[in-house]
């Protein structure tokens, strides 16, 4: 019962947030300066007033704002996110293609960083103040202080000059548009450095959280009870400490999953990796509003969804959740 109420409340919040995001997304781009018609035509092209007006009507820009909002809302609900001005393709198509690329990078990177981060954090918290702990702490703190994009640049230089890894892109030029099953080794090669950057950046964060979580958990009374029952340290860790210590990580992971699709902007820029982040950056430069709007919506939706999933998973792991 408690759990169901909890999930319902979280669902409500997710929907509410989504509504806010949708409204913000729409109005933000409508009040943004820059004439959308101009952006389509190009700055220096002369065009008659009449032609301009026709274009405006065509884009539905002559109607009152709130009418436009509901019209757009209807379109979005059907999955129609408009046409990209710069790419002349349906936004949803463009987004989907790039989303898959981004997801690949994010999921790989997150998996590695989670597994390594949890393992390292567990060990560091258990063997506090030993060389492993101090080393891991120093590493994590330094990584926290390191800008993602700069780390990417360094790894790019090191990887390409010392290991001959590709200097950017998702695929080598000759392999674009070939089917995936044919070119996946090439893709894998291109993924190594971005994924490594990704992993290192998030590894530190997970390690720190896990470590402090472990320290807190290991000071709880039930650990003493477990010890008193005659368990070895390792048994205590594995059975009683691990599950309890991982709870904060679950929430963090899911939140990160959503965010990193957006945050991968830096990595994708440095490595010219063809994902959502790079798309967003390009769309911003070109002032391609439908694309920007759609991309922003997608990014926000992914974060909201990831957040909600995290809440649900958490409610199954921790029996203490309450509805309020």
Partner 1 sequence: MSERWLLFKRSAGEFWNTFRRNRPGLLGAFLLLTALALAVFAPVLAGRDPSETIRDADGRPFTFASPAEHAPLGTDDAGHDIWAQLVYGARISLAVGFLAGFLSMFIGSLLGILAGYFGGWTDTLLMRLTDILLVIPDVPLMLILVASVRQLNLGISPLVIMIGVIGLLYWTSTARLIRSQVLTLKERQFVARARAIGAGHGHIILKHIIPQVLPLIVANTVLIVSTAILVESGLAFLGLGDPTQPSWGTMINFAFSRSAISNGAWWFYLPPGLAIVWVSLGCVLLGNVLEEILNPRLTAHHLEGDEKMVARQEAPSAEASSASSHL
Partner 2 sequence: MISDSTPLLSVRGLHTDFIGLDGTVAHALEDVSFDVHPGETLGLVGESGCGKSTTLFSLMRLLPSAGRITGGQVLFDGTDLLALTDREMREFRWKEMAMVFQSAMNALNPVYTVGHQIREAILLHLPVDKAAADKRVEELLDLVGIAKSRKEQYPHQYSGGMRQRAMIAMALACQPRLLFADEPTTALDVMVQAQVLELLKQIQKELGLALVLVTHDLGVVAEACDTVVVMYGGKVAEYGSVDRVYNAPQHPYTQRLLEAFPDLNAPSEKLASIPGAPPRLNKLPPGCRFEPRCHKKIAVCATVAPKLMDVSQLDSAITPANGQSLAGNSEISPLHAVRVMPHLAACHLCAEPGERAV
Cα separation, 205 vs 72, whole angstroms: 39
Binding site for partner 1 (CB under 8 A): 13, 16-17, 20-21, 24, 28, 32-34, 125-126, 128, 141-142, 144-150, 153-154, 156-157, 215, 218-220, 223-224, 227, 233, 236-237, 258-259, 261-263, 265-266, 269-270, 280-281, 284, 292, 295-296, 299-300, 303-304, 307
The mark string for 193-232 relative to partner 2 (x by CB under 8 A, - otherwise) is: ---------------------------xxx-xxxxxxxxx
CA distance 247 to 166: 38
Cβ-based nearer residue to partner 1, 83 or 240: 240
10 Å Cβ neighbour count for 312?
A: 15
Q: In 10 A of CB 40, how many CB atoms? A: 18
188 contact partners, CB below 8 Å, separation of at least 6: none
Which C-beta is closer to partner 2: that of 201 or that of 210?
A: 210
* Residue pair 310/254 in contact by the 8 Å Cβ criterion: yes
- Binding partner of residue 66 among partner 1, partner 2, none, CB under 5 to 8 Å per kind? none
28 is an interface residue for partner 2 by CB under 8 A: no
Site track 305-324 with partner 2 (rule: CB under 8 A), x = hit: ------------xxxx----
Residue 266 binds which of partner 1, partner 2, none (CB < 5-8 A, kind-dependent): partner 1
d(CA 62, CA 79): 23
Region at 70 (left for phi over 0; alpha for psi -120 to 50; beta for the rest): alpha
Closest approach of partner 2 to the CB of residue 245, in Å: 11
What token pair was written down for 104? 């690949």
Q: How many CB atoms lie within 10 A of CB 227?
A: 14
Closer by beta carbon to partner 2, 51 or else 317: 317
- Asked whether the beta carbons of 300 and 25 are under 8 A apart, the reply is yes
Closer residue to partner 1 (CB): 104 or 279? 279
Please answer whether residues 289 and 61 qualify as being in contact, where contact means their C-beta atoms are separated by less than 8 angstroms.
Answer: no
What minimum distance in Å lies between the beta carbon of 13 and partner 2?
Answer: 24
Residues lying near partner 2 in the complex (CB under 8 A): 220-222, 224-232, 239-240, 243-244, 317-320
């Amino acid at each position: 019962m408690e759990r169901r109420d909890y999930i319902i409340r979280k669902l409500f919040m997710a929907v509410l947030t989504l509504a806010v995001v949708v409204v913000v997304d729409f109005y933000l781009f409508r009040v943004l300066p820059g004439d959308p018609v101009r952006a389509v035509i190009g700055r220096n092209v002369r065009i008659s007033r009449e032609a301009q007006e026709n274009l405006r009507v065509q884009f539905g820009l002559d109607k009152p704002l709130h009418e436009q909002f509901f019209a757009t809302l209807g379109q979005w609900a059907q999955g129609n996110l408009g046409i990209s001005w710069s790419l002349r393709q349906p936004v949803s198509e463009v987004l989907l293609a790039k989303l898959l690329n981004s997801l690949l990078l994010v999921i790989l990177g997150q998996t590695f960083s989670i597994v390594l981060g949890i393992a390292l954090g567990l060990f560091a918290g258990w063997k506090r103040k030993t060389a492993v702990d101090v080393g891991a702490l120093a590493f994590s703190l330094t990584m926290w202080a390191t800008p993602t994009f700069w780390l990417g640049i360094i790894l790019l230089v090191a990887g390409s000059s010392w290991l001959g890894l590709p200097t950017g892109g998702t695929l080598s030029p000759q392999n674009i548009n070939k089917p995936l099953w044919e070119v996946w080794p090439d893709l894998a090669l291109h993924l190594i450095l971005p994924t490594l950057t990704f992993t290192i950046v998030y590894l530190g964060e997970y390690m720190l959280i896990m470590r402090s979580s472990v320290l807190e958990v290991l000071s709880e009374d039930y650990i003493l009870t477990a010890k008193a029952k005659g368990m070895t340290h390792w048994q205590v860790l594995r059975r009683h400490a691990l599950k309890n210590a991982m709870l904060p990580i679950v929430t963090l992971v899911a939140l990160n999953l959503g965010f990193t699709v957006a945050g991968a902007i830096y990595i994708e820029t440095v490595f010219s990796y063809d994902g959502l982040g790079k798309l967003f950056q390009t769309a911003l430069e070109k002032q391609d509003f439908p694309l920007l709007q759609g991309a922003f919506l997608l990014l926000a939706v992914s974060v909201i969804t990831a957040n909600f999933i995290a809440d649900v998973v958490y409610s199954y792991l921790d029996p203490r959740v309450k509805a309020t």
